[in-house]
Each structure stands twice: as C-alpha cells, then as structure tokens.
Chains A and B, each alone.
Chain A
Amino acid sequence: MKTVDIANRARRSLRNAKARTILTSLAIGVGAFTIAVSLAAGEGARQYADKLIGANVNPQVLFIVEDSALFDGGFQQPALQEYNPDATTTGNGATITQLTQADVDELAERDDLEFVTPTYQPQVTYITFGGVDKKFSADVATYDPTIMMESSVGTLPELGEQLADDAIVLPDSFGDILIEQNVIETKDELIGMKVTMTASKPSASLSSEEIQQAFMSGGQAAVVALASGETREFGFEVVGLSKQSATALTGTTSMQIAASKARAISEFTTEGTSSYQKYLGVTALATEGNDPEVVKAELIEEGYGVQSARDLQAVIFTIVNTLQGIVLGFGVVALIASVFGIINTQYISVLERTREIGLMKALGMRGRSVSRLFQFEAAWIGFLGGLIGSGIAITAGTLLNPWITEVLDLGEGNSILIFQPIPIVLMIIGLIIIAMIAGWFPARKAAKLDPIEALRTE
C-alpha cells in the first residue's frame, strides 16, 4: 500500500475522532509550547547579551593578569600559602599575585598589543566642582578609549583616542545631582568647569623617635599633621557628560580621567606601600590583523592569565544556556507525560477499530502497512501538537514582547523572545518522531491482530 494512501487514511481517521485528536495533541502542545518559549527566550537572551557585549566590549580586547586564579575567584587555592610580596587579597579572600610595572612595560612593548592600560585604582578623598566649597565623593575610573561612548553634553574623543591629560568625563546623572545640590543650574555649565580631586597618602607608620621629634618641634599639632599624611590636589576640566544607553554596562557611575592621571593619582596614594606599581590586571587590545585568540594563547604560554571578549561572551552564554536548559527540562517532562497520552489514546483507538483493522488485513493489507497507518496517526498528532504549541507560543510571545521589554527595561528594539523558524521546524520534526516512537507499541498490536478474531461477529 502506498505511503500517501496510508497517510491520507490516517489523517481522515483522526479528523473523524476530532475531540480525541485535539486533546491528545494539546498534551503534546504543552510540551511544545514550553520548548518553543525556552528556545525563543534563550535566543533572545543570547542576542541581547551579544548586543550588550558588542556595545561594551571591543572584540579585540584582552584582559591580562599575572595569576589566572583571579578568573575563578581563587577557589582552587590552598588555605595556607607562602607569603608573596606581589600578592594582594581579592574581595572574596583569594590571594592573587599582581602584575608589576616591569610586566606592564614588557606587555606594552609587544607589537601585537596596543592600548596597554593597567587597572589603576585612583582613590581620592574628596572632589570639588568649579571652586564651590561643597565636597563630594565618587568613583574615579580610567577612560576606556576602546569603546564608543555617546555624550549628552560636550564632546568626547574619537574612538581609540585617550582623553587629554587634564580632561574629565562625568556621567550624565552627575549633572542632575549637581543641579540638585545647587552647584550648577544647567548641565551646559559643566563643560569647561574645573574639577579638583584631593588625594591623600596614608601616613607611613611612625617610629616613636619621629613622634617625639615632631612633638619637640611643633607640639601636638605637628604630630597630627605628621600622622594624617600628605595630600595633593589634581585639577581637571570637564569635556563632556557620558550618556547612558540601555545596553551600556560601563561608564555610567564613575568619573573618567586619562590613564596618565589615573596612574599619577594611584601612584601618589600608594607610594611607599607594597601596592605601589602593582596591578591586578592589564587591559589591552590585540592590534588590527592579530586574532585576539592567538595573542591570548601566546600570552598564556608566557605564564599570564588572559581572558578575551569571547570568554566574557562564553560566561554569559553559559548562564543563559543553563537557565534555558532548566526551562527546556520542564518542556521535556511535559513531553514525556504526553508520550504516555499518545500510547494510551492509540491503544484505545486500536481496540475501538478492531473490526476495521481486521477488515483491512482480510483485504490483503500487510501488517507493516497497518502498523504504518497507526504510526502516521501518531505522527499527525505529534505534528498537530507541535503546531498548536509553537503557534500559541509565537502568538503569545509576539504580543507580550513589547511589554516584557518595557518591564525589564531592555531598551527600544530589544526583544527577549526571538522565535526562529529552523529550531521550531526541528522541534516539530522531533515531536513527530517522538510521537511515532510512542505510537509504535499500539501500532504493533494493530499489525499483529488476527483478522479472523477481529471479524468474529458472534
């Protein structure tokens, strides 16, 4: 018997049992819906993450450290280690060996790297704006010339250009705070305004002789002055306010200054301490034409720990994939439940249609064709279930997307549910196959039916 004829008979017999067909398909539809949504959400999250990374991370960027333990938070470290003067302790208690100035210089000399910038940690005590007395405190960071940033007021350097030595970029939100604090009236006033940062060097530990000497020469006040250490002022001029975009990760909460100034401040504050000219890491770009992955491999060979833009992407994708896997798991559980639904309905169908099967076999239909008939019915159920589930998922997703984007504040034009035709088609094919596997047991029962028994009327 021809496959087309079998498929048509299967389709007709399902159409004749509409209620049963739809109910069984709906069971599969639940699984299909969950899977379609998780596929769409995973794709949406990956595309969003990609956009986020693309907007914030130069694909050529490399983050280089002395000790790759930094990347895994130092979890593999033994609790007791030999003292290392180049080491520092991270937030979660891991001891990390830092890069020295010699390392940085060595990296800067390589011709496959450019924009070699250590992670300076410029810490200032307070900041004043435009000669107003009010003191503020804020995070100070090194301006990253490798990311295109947009300004709301003023102008920022071209992509790839560092800020001028005395230039400073403020986050746009600082403008609002300064208006609130009555330092300025409009944001435009900020451009060209002088910003002064006061950094202080912690006092070196004083010997009792030094204290005695200071007391002898200047009394109590001299000792206090000696103990409170030295302060220095660094002056800047505002060139622009950086705008926050929905997909920007950085440059939103820190004041940004040129690398040279960041270095000057951090060297001033750490001079004479063990942190002087020690860096947790270095950011650099692989020069044009150099594959960052190749440069990374070379650096790792030389003993550095290196992460590339792709690693960052991989980290985010791993999180997305894990979450997606969990949702997918629910879909699979729903599918397994629906498999029993198919087996059950098809068994009942075989019992109900004993006469019909007996007749077809009496008329010379091969057992194999009878089995195919029931498998096709199962396949149709799988196909319908897939269609129903993904149809509902796509409709609901398309309707809900703008709302989700708004609630999660993802920014205009970003959708978290992205339905792609190929995964959905593959899923439906998968469901058809699963349904056919589930339909195999009842189909075999039908194929083995004895026509004489089936057609017995007494």
Chain B
Amino acid sequence: MIRVENLTKTYGKKNNTFRALSNVSFDIPDGASVAIVGKSGSGKSTLMHAMSGLDRPEEGKVIIDGTDILTLRNKTVDRFRSEKIGFIFQAFFIQANETTYDNVALPLEIGGINGRERKRRVEEALRTVELDDKLKQKAGNLSGGQKQRLAIARAIVNKPSIIFADEPTGNLDSTTGAVIEDLLFKLNKQEGSTLIVVTHDHDLAKRCDMQIYVKDGEVERIDTKKGRK
C-alpha cells in the first residue's frame, strides 16, 4: 500500500516561490489501478516524481510498504526505483540507437541481474508486449505504438510492484492508444502490480479503480469504483 501524507512541494527561492503541491494526502491499495487526473500544469508529474522517489519534496511523507521513501539515503532510493518501480513516459524515452533487446535489458543491468536469467526475462517481457520478433531491431526504427510497447516491456522486465505511466497515450493516435491502454490494464490484472497513470484523458481515467483529481497542486477530489470519497 502507498500512503501519501501532507505532501508539499515548493519551487523557487525566497520571495519567488511556487507551490506545485500543497498538503496532498491519499492512500492507494496494492494492485489498484489509479489515475491522477488534472489539467496541464496542475502538478500531476510533480506528484508522480515524489511518489516514485525521483524527487524529494520538503514536507510530507510517501510511505511505501511501511517505509517513508523520502527519508532514505540516495543509494537506497536508487535501488528502490530499480527494484520496485517501472516507468512509462509520454515521449517513450527509449534509446533509439540500441536494439529492442538492449533497451529492455537496461533495468536488469542496473539491477545487476546477469546471464541466462537476464536473457530469459528480456525475452519474456518482449513476448508479453508482442515484440519478440523484433529482438535485434534498432529501437529507433519502430513505430510509435511499438516504441511505447517497448517502453512497457522495459517497465515490466524487473517485475516492479508499482508502474508509473505519465501520459502513456499522449503521443499516440486513438487506435494505438487503446492497444496500449488494454495492455497496461491487462498487466495490472495479471501481474498484480499497482498501476498509476498520469493523464488528462477522462475516458482513460474512468477505466481505473481510482481517480485522484488534482487542481493547482491540491487534491480536488478522489473517486473510487465503490463511490466518491
């Protein structure tokens, strides 16, 4: 379970400060699919960065499996991300010059998983996203949808317990976007990992178990399948 408590993030210094997050709190149960919804500039990405241990807001707590990750040492946070978190970005951020295989192998290399186990996991992840026929292909030559599938394979290859997807369909046409959405929800069900999608697409948000609406850095409202909270 993820518990966010009174999270506040301020940009800038002294008299020129800007509150990107103020006093944000909520709980996310394990295995849930969650949408963080809001307009551009509302603070969705900032919230995601704080929850994934990329950023360190000055106030509040992010408690994952009982540990406040904001209090961990850098080295431990890096390992936490490497082992527990998967990322999917709007702009894919795949390494265009590397093969699909080497793109997917990167998190395993970082995590120190070697040899046969690495190969097995990479191939399995690529099979899951149906790119196993493009093993040796340069990632730059893939189509947009294939690139995002590749990014998904990279996100799931280390079997993370939480997957963050920041506007995962933002750069795709609606048909391709739908395929990616289906894939994400399928994985969420199959693997039991928590899926946190940052989006301003209300249709996508509705498919999630839980919607956190953000406005001007504050939580406006939280919806769950069972009802409004």
Contacts and interface: CB of A to CB of B under 8 A. Distances in A.
Nearest to A16: B97
Contact of A363 (B98, B110, B112): B110
Interface string B73-112: 0010011111101010111010101100010001101111
Contacts of B87: 362-363
Contacts of B107: 363-364
Contacts of A2: 109, 112, 114
A358 B91 CA distance: 13
A356 B96 CA distance: 10
Contacts of A363: 81-82, 87, 106-107, 110
A175 to B, nearest CB: 76
Nearest to B93: A359
A457 B91 contact: yes
Nearest to A358: B93
A452 interface: yes
Contacts of B89: 455, 457
Contact of B110 (A13, A356, A360, A457): A360
B81 A362 contact: yes
A364 B54 contact: no
B98 A12 contact: yes
Q: Which of B85, B90, B107, B109 has the most CB of A within 10 A?
A: B109
Given A12-B102, A452-B55, A5 B109 contact: yes
Contacts of A452: 49, 54-55
Nearest to A353: B95
Interface in B104-152: 106-107, 109-112, 114
Contact of A364 (B78, B95, B102, B114): B78
A397 to B, nearest CB: 37
A13 B82 CA distance: 22
A360 B85 CA distance: 13
A366 interface: yes
Interface string A359-388: 111111110010000000000000000000
Interface string A432-458: 000000000000000000011001010
Interface of B: 49, 54-55, 75, 78-83, 85, 87, 89-91, 93, 95, 97-98, 102, 106-107, 109-112, 114
Interface of A: 1-2, 5, 9, 12-13, 16, 355-356, 358-366, 369, 451-452, 455, 457
Pairs of residues from A and B, 7 with the lowest C-beta to C-beta distance, nearest first: A364-B82, A16-B97, A364-B81, A5-B109, A364-B78, A359-B93, A365-B110
